A and B are shown apart, each in its own frame.
Chain A
Amino acid sequence: MTPFQHRRGFTALELLIAIAIGSLVLMVAYSAVRMATATISAARRMDVQNQAMRSGFLVANEELDFWTALDDPDDPARQRLRAVSVQQLDGKAVHTAPEQTYGLPFVALKDLPPENQWAAGGSGFNLLAADPTLLTDAQFRDDASTGELFRLDRARGFDARPYQADDPRRWYRGCMFEPGHLDREVGRYGMFSNRHADPVLGYGDHPGVIRRDSDDHPVGETDVPGVVQITGPYGPYPPMAWGDPGLPARTFTWHEHQVLYGLQAFGSYGTMDYLPANAVLRIHGTQAWCAKLPLEGDYAAGVANGTINAPVDGWVRIDERVDHRITGYNDYGSCFNGYGRVVGQRSQALTRANATVRDWHSLRVPGSDSLQDLVSDYRNPFAGPESHHFVYKGEIRNNTWVENLLPQPPPDWPRLRLEVMRGLLRGRFFTLARIRWTDTASNEEAELVLTGIGTTLRGARQQRARDGGWAAWYGRNDTRNTPTLDQP
């Protein structure tokens, strides 16, 4: 056998067939692998997309609870809303008057300037109450000037702590089943009402009237000194603790000065978060009623000569600075038919022409806008052009925290964008979060919009330590609790 005979080879046809079959197998295998990888790639992209959506959802919800976009306790560079005064921000003086020394929503109370501190002897801007028993009757009425207001508040000795819920000053004094109309005012905090140490709520046929004191009862009417009697549409309301001779005199209600201080400290949004619920933010009347209002210094003379209706004393007076910033109504012209006036503004009617108010306001993080604009907008939310509450959507767009959660993603990854907006509309807080992602393959956009309940601004301030970082909370009245931004 020759060597050739021993070599078992292939014919050309065999080779061609083998190559063809091999190629076919390889093509099929390649296609299978390619399809598998493409499928996996698509699945991966979908997975990343879903993951981005989940991440956005989680970040949005955590932001609802921790407010780190507006104030990050771990990053001093992101704590610009802790400034005490706008003068300290970017060297731009938005407000220069001493009484307009404003804090921003995350200001630490300890950092407030002396005029607004509540340390012993300080006037205390805080939203807490004064002790009117420290004041004489004359002192209550001697509040014509701002300086005097501060002095009086100082004399009242502000409490340095927010009220506990078991403090009677915080309790709702009305009937929970009051009808939803008319006489509800007696069931609300008379925030601007209690300018007297011992007010009386209502008497006889005058439900809801807050009287100066129990000595003003009409002749012949039985009076129990110090015990408040309110008459509602369905009979007498339960007596109230105010002035109960057996209790320490704790006649605390909210006061316009306190609101003003709150505005100075926190701005409108923050003040609303610290007010008692049910706060009455504005009280005013018709022309006939307003004509009876005791003006500053006129009260004693008015009572003496019979021209002043005593029961209205103490209910009415709203500092216009407060009024402008915290109320949202813009339609007084029709409401009062031109006859009304806002108490505290004396003869000036608040109408569309002279009251340019916005009825919502929002918080936003310092971003592309100048800080001066931000502060101006934040501090004075009603100063812009008159708007209607139905147009707030555009404002939401302009006042939203926006963050691109994937700043440098791979080119085939979806883009993710998160927006969180906090606002206040008609006295109600709302939060809106929007998670939007774009599929880079199909260029399709999808978004998830949600609202939710989470930490309020007051809660966020209590999360933050007075001296930096996060505050630890172990329990009520636990001495290990870290002092928070709310503690001096």
Chain B
Amino acid sequence: MNRSSARSGVILIITAALAAILATLCLTFIARANNAGADSAWIGRYTQARVMLHAGLSYVQECARIGWDTRLGDGDNHEGFGWVDVRGGIRDRARFVTVHGRNPSGAEAAAFPLGPRSQFDREGEDGTALAGGDGIWDRLWDPALVEDGDGDGLADRPAWPAVGSVARAPMFRMRRPPFAIEPVVAPNPIANNPADPAFGLPLLLHPDPLPAFGRGVAGGAPATRWADWSAGERSALPGSEGRAWFRVYRDGPATFVVTCGCGGSEGFRDWPEVLGAQAEDLFQRDQRMFEDIVANEVRLWYRIEWSPAVNGNEPQTIGWNGSQLSVVTGGKPDHVSKWPWARIVNQGGTIQWIQRLRAPPELW
């Protein structure tokens, strides 16, 4: 080896060392950034799952009052009276006696107030059962086992919203929600010429927003009829699904396990449940892929109780105003106007308490 090649080797070693140092630093930087990104992504999923708790609680509060339109099959939406019927079952009892000629058993009586019950009544005022009536007020649930929750091909749980049933709610963006509107920016100059047909009609020529009618929204088919527009196009917009979900298991009349998650499992508990729901295609019939998805999800379990009360606790002031018990006014600044939060009433009931579970329960 001559001197020239020796010097070249030294230069090469120095250069390589410097390059290695720089490469190491870069790789460390990239690795750290990658880890930070992964951490941030996990925190994002955790946050999204917590947001799902809000969604789940709202769902429990609202759906028993908004009702359903699927089970009774009469083409109408039936509003409900809450998870436990605030009417207390007295009319059920009276009708039961009228229809059956005997007092109900304890179990029968206990089932009367179990909600949600329909706003409609399939019985006449005299207690005579109408067609389809069963002696009590219509209920929006059926205890029959119709769903396969463990993939064994046998029905083992009832349909929502019966006690023991599950509602699964994956989040996605609809192609066109029911009654969709569009924020159409429309100038509305005020016509100042009396001869103008628009004179006297400020701001009304081009209303904004407009119904998403007669045009497609987000790739969906355009609605051309009222029925199309009111029904919407509820399928998921591609790319918007597989992010967050919640599911609600009704374990008692008004107690629930709310599971909140963020990930691509669509809220399915496990692969057998996917099989039971015949939803394998959602996961390309790949159990391994589904389990990988679940392993990367954030899942939080909460136990909650719903109360039919429509307001929180409050120091309420009630008095006798001379003719009735009422919120006291006495001709003076009254309680309600002075403390306006006293009149805040929601129609969906109240979440009585919340308990985060440290481990998933057996049924959820």
* A276, B309: Cβ atoms closer than 8 Å: yes
**Which B-chain residue is minimally distant from A44 (CB atoms)?**
B32
Does the CB pair A327–B330 fall under 8 Å? no
B332 in contact with A335 (CB, 8 Å)? yes
Please give, as numbers and ranges, the residues of chain A lying within 8 Å of B356 by CB-CB distance.
65-66, 454-455, 459, 463
CB < 8 Å neighbour of B43 from A37, A57, A459: A57
Select from chain B the residue with minimum beta-carbon distance to A177.
Answer: B347
Spot the interface stretch: A99-107, A212-220, A277-285: A277-285
Q: Which residue of the partner chain, among A176, A181, A206, contacts B310 with CB atoms under 8 Å?
A: A176
Please pick, from A165, A176, A460, the residue contacting B306 in the complex, using a CB distance under 8 A.
A165
Is B350 part of the binding interface, using a Cβ–Cβ cutoff of 8 Å?
A: yes
Which residues of chain A are near B101, meaning CB under 8 Å? Answer: none
Which residues in window 245-261 of B have CB below 8 A to A?
251-255
Beta-carbon contact of A43 and B354 below 8 Å: no
Q: Which residue in chain A gives the minimum CB-CB distance to B40?
A: A54
Nearest Cβ on chain B to A247's Cβ, whole angstroms: 7
- With an 8 A cutoff between CB atoms, is A453 at the interface? yes
Chain A residues, Cβ within 8 Å of B318:
185, 280, 282-285
Query: For the complex, would chain B's binding face be called helix, strand, loop or mixed by DSSP majority?
Result: mixed
Please pick, from A36, A184, A459, the residue contacting B303 in the complex, using a CB distance under 8 A.
A459
Query: Which chain A positions have C-beta within 8 A of B230?
Result: none
B336 and A180 contact, CB distance less than 8 A:
yes
Report how far A61 CA is from B51 CA in the complex, Å.
Answer: 12
Contacts of A337 in B (CB 8 A): 330-332
Q: Is B299 an interface residue (CB 8 A)?
A: no
A252 interfacial contact with B, CB 8 Å:
no
Q: How near does chain B come to A329, taking the closest CB pair, in angstroms? A: 6
Could you tell me how many residues of chain A have their Cβ less than 8 Å away from some Cβ of chain B?
105
Chain A nearest CB from B144 CB (Å) reads 20
**Bound Cα distance from A30 to B328, whole angstroms:** 82
A315–B316 CB distance below 8 A: no
Once the chains bind, are B86 and A171 in contact (CB under 8 Å)? yes
Name the one of B91, B315, B338, B350 contacting A238, with C-beta atoms under 8 angstroms. Answer: B91
Binds A, one of B20-28, B189-197, B203-211, B281-289: B20-28
Contact (Cβ within 8 A) B345 A462: no
Whether the Cβ atoms of B90 and A181 lie closer than 8 Å is: no
Chain A proximity of B47: nearest CB distance (Å): 8
Q: Does A302 contact B (CB under 8 A)?
A: no
A427 and B312 form a contact (CB under 8 A) = yes
Residue interface bits B289-316, CB-to-A below 8 A is 1, else 0: 0000000000000110111111111111
Residues of A close to B18: CB separation below 8 A: 29, 33
Contact A285 B36, CB 8 Å, known A275-B313, A276-B309, A335-B332: no
From B84, which residue of chain A is reached at the shortest CB distance? A171
Interchain CB contact under 8 A, B29 and A246: no
A277 with B309: in contact, given A185-B316, A246-B103 (CB under 8 Å)? Answer: yes
Given known contacts A40-B28, A453-B53, A208 and B93 CB-to-CB distance under 8 angstroms: no
Contact with B along A246-286 (1 / 0, CB 8 A): 11000000000000000000000000110111111111111
| B347 contacts A176, C-beta separation under 8 Å | yes
- Is residue B352 within 8 Å, beta carbon to beta carbon, of the partner chain? yes
Q: Is the CB of A50 within 8 A of B40?
A: yes
Query: Which residues in chain B, 49-97, are within 8 Å of chain A measured between CB atoms?
Result: 50, 53-54, 57, 65, 81-84, 86-91, 93, 97
Query: A327 contacts which of B3, B43, B89, B315 (Cβ < 8 Å)?
Result: B315
The reply on A340 being an interface residue by CB < 8 A is yes
Enumerate chain A residues within 8 angstroms of B352, measured Cβ to Cβ: 165, 276-277
B252 touching A40 by the CB < 8 A rule? no
Subset of 19 A-B contacts with CB under 8 Å: A47-B33, A164-B252, A180-B343, A180-B344, A180-B345, A184-B345, A238-B88, A246-B103, A247-B89, A278-B307, A278-B350, A284-B318, A285-B320, A453-B57, A453-B354, A455-B355, A459-B353, A475-B362, A476-B255
Known contacts A66-B358, A172-B310; 5 further A-B pairs (Cβ under 8 A): A188-B309, A239-B88, A247-B93, A336-B330, A456-B355
Instruction: Enumerate the 5 nearest inter-chain pairs by beta-carbon distance, A residue then B residue, closest first.
Output: A459-B355, A289-B320, A165-B254, A277-B309, A285-B319
